[in-house]
Amino acid sequence: MKAVRFHATGGPEVLRYEDADQPLPGAGEVRIQVAGSAFNPADGGIRGGFLPIPVPLPHIPGYDVSGTIDALGDEVHGLAVGDTVVGFIPMTADGSAAQYVVAPADALVKAPTSIPLADAAGLPSVGLTASQALFEAGGLTAGQRVLINGAGGPVGGYAVQLAKRAGAYVVATASPRSSEIVEAAGADEIVDHTTTSVLDAVTEPVDVLLNLAPITPDRFTALVALVRDGGVVVSTTPTVPTPGDEARNVRAVTIFVHPDADVLSQLVAFIDSGDLHVEIAQRVPLSELPKIHEQSEAGRLHGKVVAVPPAV
């Protein structure tokens, strides 16, 4: 099969588009003929060796997948050959940047039917991150106010949609480049952080502050003043400590996304009901995935990119 692999950690130049052995599913696993493999910034971190996630070499990146099951391992129940599925698969095993990937059956759910199968790969890890940040960590409920800092990225788009669907009032920061997408996602207020101070623009306290953007510790700490007493600060950026305020009982939580098939199934249902929109910025042939890594490394990549393997 064709795959993108790296045989040593390093820059995007270590990625090779090459032939690899087709994997075989073990007990509790299935093999998927890949329709789409979504790129995530963490793929670059794993490839570069800066993320503390051990991977065997050579390694195929890609932990978001959509495709069609073509083989079953032993002890697999509830899935069948021919099922279209989507999933957030283990980062430590070979991933989806290939024509085939083996994945744990319990990490997969039936794919949405209302969008192209390849596009469904853009959902799992970012959709789960948004849901877990807002509801598991933030405890967001109807009638509350949430400030989403960095709403213009892939996680932010889902966070705005899910918060609005839950009945929250959403204040979002976004640059002019992404403000239209954030507005279409349903934000009640949009703050252009390139021209306006968030501290000045947000005039009422929020129940939940969700940070999705690179931010300095000082600026992050300053934003805590916008959170009401007893509120919560949630962040997906582990390189900067998440600040709280013990004196005002403002909690601080850093989110690390984890698989959750039940929540992922719910997100798929929202897509098929029209309550959640999947935004794909680019679809590229799998052979061009190394170029996507280069663009990401240079800070020139915007929006969700899905790599599409050649037909089998």
pLDDT digits (tens), the chain, 312 positions: 999 999 999 999 999 999 999 999 999 999 999 999 999 999 999 999 988 899 999 999 999 999 999 999 999 999 999 999 999 999 999 999 999 999 999 999 999 999 999 999 999 999 999 999 999 999 999 999 999 999 998 899 999 999 999 999 999 999 888 888 899 889 999 998 888 889 989 999 999 999 999 899 999 999 999 999 999 999 998 889 999 999 999 999 999 999 999 999 999 999 999 999 999 999 999 999 999 999 999 989 888 999 999 998
DSSP type of residue 142: T
Percentage of the chain beyond pLDDT 70 is 100
143 touches 87 (CB < 8 A): no
113 touches 72 (CB < 8 A): no
Question: CA dihedral defined by 221, 223, 225, 227, rounded to 10 degrees?
Answer: -120
Strands (DSSP E) contained in the chain are 2-6, 15-19, 29-38, 64-72, 84-88, 100-104, 108-110, 145-149, 169-174, 189-192, 206-211, 227-235, 251-254, 282-285, 305-308
252 touches 195 (CB < 8 A): no
Q: Which among 45, 38, 9, 12 has a CA at the least distance from the CA of 237? A: 45
Please provide the size of the chain in residues.
Answer: 312
- Identity of residue 227: V
Distances in whole angstroms, Cα of residue 167 to Cα of each of 144, 161, 186, 271: 8, 10, 11, 17
Is 2-123+278-308 a domain of CATH 3.90.180.10?
yes
pLDDT for the residue 239: 86
β-sheet bridge partners, residue 110: 85
Tens-digit pLDDT profile for residues 176-212: 888 888 998 899 999 988 888 899 899 999 999 999 9
Q: What DSSP string runs through 70-89? A: EEE-TT--S--TT-EEEEE-
Residue ranges, comma separated, of all CATH 3.90.180.10 domains in the chain are 2-123+278-308
Q: Which among 197, 200, 212, 209 has a CA at the least distance from the CA of 168? A: 209
Pairwise CA distance, residues 40 & 125, whole Å: 9
Top-level CATH class of 126-254?
alpha beta
Alpha carbons within 13 angstroms on the beta-carbon side of residue 236 total: 27
Distance of alpha carbon 58 from the chain centroid = 24
- pTM of the full structure: 0.95
Cα angle, residue 3 at apex, residues 64 and 13 outer, rounded to 5°: 95
Pairwise CA distance, residues 108 & 184, whole Å: 29
Residue ranges, comma separated, of all CATH 3.40.50.720 domains in the chain are 126-254
